[in-house]
Each structure stands twice: as C-alpha cells, then as structure tokens.
Amino acid sequence: MDGKADLHLHTTFSDGALSPSELLERARQAGLTTIAITDHDHTGGLDEAARSAALSGIDVVPGVELSTSVGEADVHILGYFINHRDVRLQEHLEIFRAERLKRAEKIVEKLNGMHIPLTIGAVLRRAGKGSVGRPHIATALVEEGLIGSYQEAFSRYIGFGKPANEKKYQVSPREAIALVAAAGGLSFLAHPSTFISEQVLREVIDAGIDGIEVVHPSHSPELVAHYSGIVSEYFLLASGGSDFHGGRRNDREAFGKYFISTEYVEMMRRRLR
C-alpha cells in the first residue's frame, strides 16, 4: 500500500515554528510516512530529523529550499536527496544566509525611517539559529506591538512592492539547479502558481529543472491538473506538500492534507540511480 509523503516542510532552522523533532512527531500523528525538510537556505535541521526518524519510522528526505530570481519574479527551488554535508553547497548556503541578514537589516532601516521602532535584535531573537527572513520581521512587528497582524506586515510594509521591502540577493534558477545537482540531488520548482508566469515556468524548465511541485495549498484542482500535464509533457518528476510553517502562518490545517503518494518518491530515487 502506498504511503503519504509531504515533501515541503519548514522547521525552526528557517521560518518554521517547530523543531525537526517536533515536526516528525506531528508528521507521525498526521499519518505521513515520508517527509522532506526543506528549510530556506539551511540544512541544519537534517541531522536532528534523521535521529528522530529512526525512532518514528518516518522516511526523511534531506532537502532545502533555495530562493532565486528571474527578473522581478521570485522563483523557489526545492532540492531533494541532497548530500547536506557537501562542502560547496554549505559554502553557498552560508553566503545566502549572510545576504538574508543584510536584507533584513535594510528592511529594518526602512521601517525605522517610517517611524516604526523595530530593532534588528528583535528580529534575530525570533530567527534564533535559523536563516533570517521576512516572516521573522513580521512576527517581531506583531509581538513588539508595532502592528496589528502578521498579514498586515506584508500587505502594508514588507510585501512585494511595499515601502519597506528590499530586493533579494540575486541567484538564477540555473545556478541553484546546478548547486543541487552537484550535491547529488534533484531540483523541483516550488509552488509555480505563486507569482510565476508561464514564460518564467518555461525558462526554469529550459534551465534543467528535474520536476515541479504539483500539489500545494495554493494550487486548485484545476492547477494540479495543469501542472501534472506539464510534468507529463516535459518528462519531469512530480512533487507535492503542505509548505507547512506553523506559528503565525495559520497553516495548521494544511498539515496532513496536502501530500503525494510515496510512489512519486520512489520515482525520484530511480531517477538518481
């Protein structure tokens, strides 16, 4: 009998609310048999996840989520089955995390210029040992009593096109795909319906992507069918997951609801052989 796989999950090593061990326990309760931890620009949670997996019986796919750009479009690349101890990969992830910190500092400066007295220290306390990102800024703004809601942070201040937003460090999908391949993994385009045009989608396919995340909370049944058709047309692999973060994301209901059959995970393994 096929199991249930959620291949898009975040922990406290990026902008998730649960530790790797807590996430494994939540996965067990949800009836998942395979998960992938895909923290943003960070693989620090994978060893803890592997230890917890030995106790829970859940198969953990080592993963990562990399932020890239095509013009003004944010393009996220999921890497699966990576060797997270690969030296070149870790060197690049350190650079990415350093650039994330620089971006956060610039966003805080812009907020201060708008008379919002947030400090970078308050943001870093929320990020802890994880790679810092806008969700930590949004959480800090709420918890410091500076705005009313997490959503307001993005809609008024730090979302795309908003006054305190700051451009990301520029990495191309082709560079990220090559980095994942060099670490022995497979690369997948994450949630393609999110700010990605059909033209950008074709560019990412041309760059050598291995697969597409077909199942995602942002994908309607019609979009799932659409991306499944593209996967078949270009002989790509299919992935899927809940993109669960927890905390103020209010995405608790997605956990255990958005998944793929473990048959697709086996197809990935066969591709790597």
Structure-model confidence comparison of residues 57 and 267, the more confident one: 267
- What amino acid is encoded at 225 in this protein? A
> Which residue reads 């003004």 in tokens?
72
Q: What is the CATH number of the domain that holds 127?
A: 1.10.150.650
169-180 pLDDT per residue, tens: 989 999 999 999
> Which residue reads 């609801």 in tokens?
257
Q: Are residues 179 and 234 in the same domain?
A: yes
- What amino acid is encoded at 187 in this protein? S
Q: Are residues 78 and 213 in the same domain?
A: yes
- Give me the pLDDT at residue 72, please: 80
Q: Is there a domain that residue 163 lies in?
A: no
119-170 pLDDT per residue, tens: 999 999 999 988 999 999 999 999 999 999 999 999 999 998 999 999 989 8
Quick one: which H or E segment has residue 34? strand 34-37
- Give me the pLDDT at residue 166, please: 94
- Give me the pLDDT at residue 196, please: 85
- Give me the pLDDT at residue 150, please: 94
- Give me the pLDDT at residue 63, please: 98
- Give me the pLDDT at residue 1, please: 54
Q: Are residues 188 and 104 in the same domain?
A: no
Q: Starting from the edge strand earliest in sequence, which strands make up the sheet with 237-240, in order?
A: 237-240, 211-215, 186-189, 73-80, 59-70, 34-37, 4-9, 260-261
User: What is this structure's pTM?
Assistant: 0.93
Rounded Cα distance between 37 and 40, Å, is 10
218-257 pLDDT per residue, tens: 999 999 999 999 999 999 999 999 999 988 777 878 899 9
182-231 pLDDT per residue, tens: 999 999 999 999 878 999 999 999 999 999 999 999 999 999 999 999 99
Rounded Cα distance between 107 and 101, Å, is 10
Q: Among the three residues 107, 124, 158, which one is the final residue of a domain in this structure? A: 158
Q: What are phi and psi of 29, to 5 degrees?
A: -65, -30
Indicate the average pLDDT of the chain.
95
Give the pairing of strands 237-240 and 73-80. Answer: unpaired
- Give me the pLDDT at residue 194, please: 83
Q: Among the three residues 158, 177, 199, which one is the final residue of a domain in this structure? A: 158
Q: Are residues 209 and 264 in the same domain?
A: yes
Domain with 249, as residue range(s), is 4-92+169-272
Whether the Cβ atoms of residue 42 and residue 13 lie closer than 8 Å to each other: yes
- Give me the pLDDT at residue 247, please: 80
Q: What is the DSSP string of 55-116?
A: HH--EEEEEEEEEEEETTEEEEEEEES--TT-HHHHHHHHHHHHHHHHHHHHHHHHHHHTT-
34-90 pLDDT per residue, tens: 999 999 999 999 999 999 998 888 999 999 999 999 988 889 999 999 999 999 999
